[in-house]
């Protein structure tokens, strides 16, 4: 009897592992950038699904990390705090990567409110709350990247 139990467990584990290997999601595209004189690890959100998911559900946003949302054209992209567990700073950037609008310390309790930029933007960078204040980021500050990613979907 125990032989069949062990064989069954082995088969189940093997199927789960094979499925995980076959259907694993690709690692998000990432890079390093300089913003406000500090180095940031950048994770790109270049697809509709990645932009919709954003940082929602994360319990921590490291101080040296940012998620860069990439859009196909300049526009007035609104952001909300749906399913966010931590406050963040948001920076809207033009096509050249310069800050055109900032929201500091966006609280999770602001959902379902939507934050909009004061000028059209091509990119939005989300960082840990307090980053703008700590680094003295103001309108016009550049996000220095070797190459800005393009929309992949």
The CATH number of the domain holding residue 79 is 2.60.120.1140
First to last CA, the chain: 52
Per-residue pLDDT of 38-82, as tens digits, reads 999 999 999 999 999 999 999 999 999 999 999 999 999 999 999
d(CA 97, CA 121): 9
Residue 150 lies inside a defined structural domain of this protein: no
Domain tally for the chain? Answer: 1
H helix or E strand, kind and range, residue 48: helix 48-53
Tokens of 91: 């920076």
Question: What is the domain range of residue 115?
Answer: 28-144
Q: What is the pTM of this model?
A: 0.79
Least confident span in 8-22, 118-132, 134-148: 8-22
Confidence of residue 150 (pLDDT cuts 50, 70, 90): confident
């Amino acid at each position: 009897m125990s032989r069949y139990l062990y064989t069954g467990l082995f088969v189940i584990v093997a199927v789960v592992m094979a499925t995980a290997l076959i259907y694993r999601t690709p690692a998000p595209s990432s890079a390093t950038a300089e913003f406000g004189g500090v180095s940031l690890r950048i994770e790109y959100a270049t697809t509709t699904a990645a932009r919709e998911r954003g940082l929602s559900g994360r319990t921590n946003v490291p101080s040296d990390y940012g998620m860069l949302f990439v859009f196909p054209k300049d526009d007035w992209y609104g952001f909300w705090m749906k399913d966010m567990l931590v406050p963040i700073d948001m920076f809207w950037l033009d096509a050249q990567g310069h800050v055109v609008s900032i929201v500091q310390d966006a609280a999770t309790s602001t959902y379902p409110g939507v934050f909009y930029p004061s000028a059209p933007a091509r990119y939005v960078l989300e960082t840990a709350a307090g980053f703008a204040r700590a680094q003295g980021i103001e309108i016009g500050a550049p996000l220095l990247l070797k190459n800005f990613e393009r929309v992949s979907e």
